[in-house]
Amino acid sequence: MTTIEAAKIQRELTKIKHPELKKDIVSLGMIGSLDIQEGETNILLKTPNQDRRVQIGLEAQIRQILTKLEGIGKVKIKFEVDPKLVLDDSNKIPGVMNVIAIGSGKGGVGKSTVTVNLAAVAASLGYKVGVLDADIYGPSIGKMFGVNGRVALKAEEDKIYPLIKDGIKLISFSFLIDEKQPVVWRGPMLGKAVEQFLYDIVWDELDYLLLIFHQERETFNFHSLS
């Protein structure tokens, strides 16, 4: 099989998403092998378990897409359980594909500036972007987007809906507290508040969520969001 043929099939397979994780089967590393011999296309698909409901659905989608390609031949699909392939989605923020955490060991080094620039570039490239300013001691993202002071955010059924500015979804602690109101949260209390805040926001669908955190980063486990 030529490199061009392999690349073409790989591109087509990226159109197929895992029904539960909402990511394509190529980026998830589920393609074990891909080969064409004597008019046959043989695909080995790795799965974390023997869930036949998911396997049957994926097989049907693969056949539907590949049989439309010229010269693909007969499509044969085999499944192999790979215990190393762990698709743990328990900590995933609903609707968010990727989280980029931006922080530093000290304040005043330009975290917000970097975040705004990244968000603007990603949005200009067509990506769906959200920004969460979790720096509770000195949130500044609101001001940098021209949104000052408290904001009456839409809230329904204990869920918060972000503000949208220039096509970018924004949430900041500055939207919820008065500018001169002191914040005395520390340690585990702060961490719990930030994590709860993350999962109470309705982001819908985002390609990237940019998360700014205070230099006291040990107060919440942002590693669990990856």
Delimiting residues of CATH 3.30.300.130 domain(s) in the chain: 6-81
CB contact burial 156-187 (16+ within 10 A = b; e otherwise): eeeeeebbeeeebbbbbbbbeeeeeeeeeeee
Contact by Cβ (8 Å): 77, 35? no
CB 215 within 8 A of CB 102: no
pLDDT beneath 70, residues of the chain: 1-4, 21, 86-91, 105-107, 136-138, 149-152, 177-194, 196, 214-226
Q: Where do runs of H (alpha helix) occur along the chain?
A: 3-13, 52-66, 111-124, 141-144, 187-199
Give the integer Cα–Cα distance in Å for 214 and 116. 16
Q: What is the pLDDT of residue 88?
A: 55
Residues of the chain with CATH 3.40.50.300: 96-224
| Angle at alpha carbon of residue 159, lines to 153 and 161, rounded to 5° | 40
For residue 154, count other CB atoms closer than 10 A to its CB: 11
Check: CB of residue 44 under 8 Å from CB of residue 81: no
pTM of the model: 0.54
Supply the CATH classification number for the domain 6-81: 3.30.300.130
Instruction: Answer yes or no: are the C-beta atoms of 93 and 225 closer than 8 Å.
Output: yes
Task: At 165, list the tokens.
Answer: 């500015």
Share of residues in the chain with pLDDT > 70 (%): 73
CB 224 within 8 A of CB 91: yes
Query: pLDDT tens across 33-80, in order?
Result: 988 887 888 999 998 888 888 899 999 999 999 988 887 888 999 999
Which pLDDT value is given to residue 201? 85
> For residue 134, what are its two tokens?
């979790």
Q: Specify the 3-state DSSP secondary structure of 175.
A: helix
Alpha-carbon span 182 to 137, nearest angstrom = 9
Return the C-alpha torsion angle 201, 202, 208, 214, nearest 10: -10
Helix (H) and strand (E) counts in the chain:
5, 10
Task: Supply the pLDDT for residue 2.
Answer: 47
The dihedral of CA 171, 177, 180, 181: what is its sign? negative
Determine whether domain 96-224 maps to CATH 3.40.50.300. Answer: yes
